[in-house]
Structure 1
Amino acid sequence: MSSPRGYDPTSPPAGRPPKRKRGRPPKWNGPASTLTFKIHREVCERLRAGATKRMAAALAGTTEVRLQGWLRRGREAIEQGKRSRYTELVQDVEKAEAEYQMALVEAATAAIGDKTMNDKVIRWRLSVASPKDFTVPREAPVAAGNGLGPLFELVTPEQARTRLDEKLARFLEEHDKEEADAAEPPPSKDAEEDADDEDGDGS
């Protein structure tokens, strides 16, 4: 039997031969698919600091789809009157989000008395975090007289430019037509008499 390739029997390697690893070979790392206490705690800490669910899930080593699945299982268990690690996750996630929103509310309240503070970012973040609670519903536009539509309409610059070009083209077309009509000379009296004579001859 021949020696393995690269092995020199006259000068064998020093030391013990490497041990073979038992078990499954190592695999590539991927997002966690099992809810653990570490992931639970990491997600809640990130949400308490203002992260979104997608950001919190990524920083905890999982995905937003997995996190939403765990939350859905927890809500279903709560409706059935059960308790599990998923129901605890739902409670802690909602608490963490509420604590962050409460911190924003306190900052916005402090900005009312302190005129040096700019609360636009705070109000925007609250409207994004909880639009149902911190967004004023838009009213439908009131129709003008005879129901012809609103007096003012918000359009983009591109739409305004297109409409302006259309109106300008119509105006130039009508203007050219009026100038053409005005440039034509009126019919002379001789032409009218000739036309009358032709009519008389034909009768």
Structure 2
Amino acid sequence: MSPPRGYDPKPPPGKPAGGKRAPKFSGPATTLTYKIQTAIVAELRQGATKRMAAALAGTTDARLQNWLRRGREAIEAGKRSRYTEFVVEVERAQAEFQKSRVKDALDSISDKTMDGRGARWFLAVTAPKDFTIPREPAAPAGNGHGPLFEVITPDEARAKLDEKLATFIAKHLKARVATDVPPEPAPEDDDGG
């Protein structure tokens, strides 16, 4: 006898028996919920840092960084998941806040009553690659006379010290001999005077 029409011997989709996760999933369920995701993104849109946004959403910075890492890895692998959407939302929220600071800085240029230094400073600190001018490399120390310090071995140091000491002693002895020579007697005048 055949089964009745519409009967499927496979268990219906839904939660597995005993409240366990389906075997196709490995590991525990993610803690990245829609509520946490929207809370983090909302805080980032208002200018919070990732650490602040995570704390205000009720999670930790380490967990947030883990979600972002997983999302970036999935993006690189060409996959789409909850984490890739989260990465896109986080980057969009940060870009929107930066755009508002750029608008403030540009408005302060035309409106002389506004002080845009705070907005420019914030942009330079939060996104230095985008909003700072690369510095010139520092001039070499020593004013063109070579480096101020030179790394040498103890034997080289001893040899240089002996050389400098010999030079100093030779100069000192020459100067001393020149001062120790008695002055030549001055010729006396025959005037007797």
TM-score (norm 1): 0.55
Question: 1:147, CA displacement in angstroms?
Answer: 4.1
Question: 1:116, CA displacement in angstroms?
Answer: 1.3
Question: 1:145, CA displacement in angstroms?
Answer: 4.5
Letter of the 2:66 partner, please give it: G
1:50 aligns with 2:55: no
- Which residue does the alignment assign to 2:135? 138
1:62 aligns with 2:59: yes
- Which residue does the alignment assign to 1:116? 113
1:36 aligns with 2:33: yes
- Which residue does the alignment assign to 1:94? 91
**Aligned equivalents of 1:97 and 1:138: distance in 2?**
26
The number of residue pairs the alignment matches comes to 120
1:74 aligns with 2:71: yes
Q: Could you report, residue by residue, the CA deviation over 1:30-79 in whole angstroms, capped at 9, with x for unpaired residues?
A: xxx71000000000000000000000000000011100000000000011
**Aligned equivalents of 2:90 and 2:145: distance in 1?**
49
Give SS of 1:101's match. Answer: helix
Q: What RMSD in Å do the two structures reach over aligned CA positions?
A: 2.3
Q: Could you report, residue by residue, the CA deviation over 1:2-31 in whole angstroms, capped at 9, with x for unpaired residues?
A: xxxxxxxxxxxxxxxxxxxxxxxxxxxxxx
Question: 1:140, CA displacement in angstroms?
Answer: 1.8
Letter of the 1:53 partner, please give it: K
**Aligned equivalents of 2:110 and 2:77: distance in 1?**
46
Give SS of 1:146's match. Answer: coil
Q: Could you report, residue by residue, the CA deviation over 1:132-181 in whole angstroms, capped at 9, with x for unpaired residues?
A: 111222212234742468xxxxxxxxxxxxxxxxxxxxxxxxxxxxxxxx
Question: 1:129, CA displacement in angstroms?
Answer: 1.7
- Which residue does the alignment assign to 1:186? none
- Which residue does the alignment assign to 1:201? none
User: Residues 147, 122 of structure 1: CA spacing in aligned structure 2 closer, same or farther, 3 A cutoff?
Assistant: farther
**Aligned equivalents of 1:36 and 1:145: distance in 2?**
61
Q: Structure 2 unaligned runs (5+)? A: 1-29, 148-193
Q: Structure 1 unaligned runs (5+)? A: 1-32, 150-203
Question: 1:131, CA displacement in angstroms?
Answer: 1.3
Question: 1:91, CA displacement in angstroms?
Answer: 0.3
After superposing on structure 2, the runs of 4+ consecutive aligned residues of structure 1 that deviate more than 4 Å are none
**Aligned equivalents of 1:135 and 1:57: distance in 2?**
28
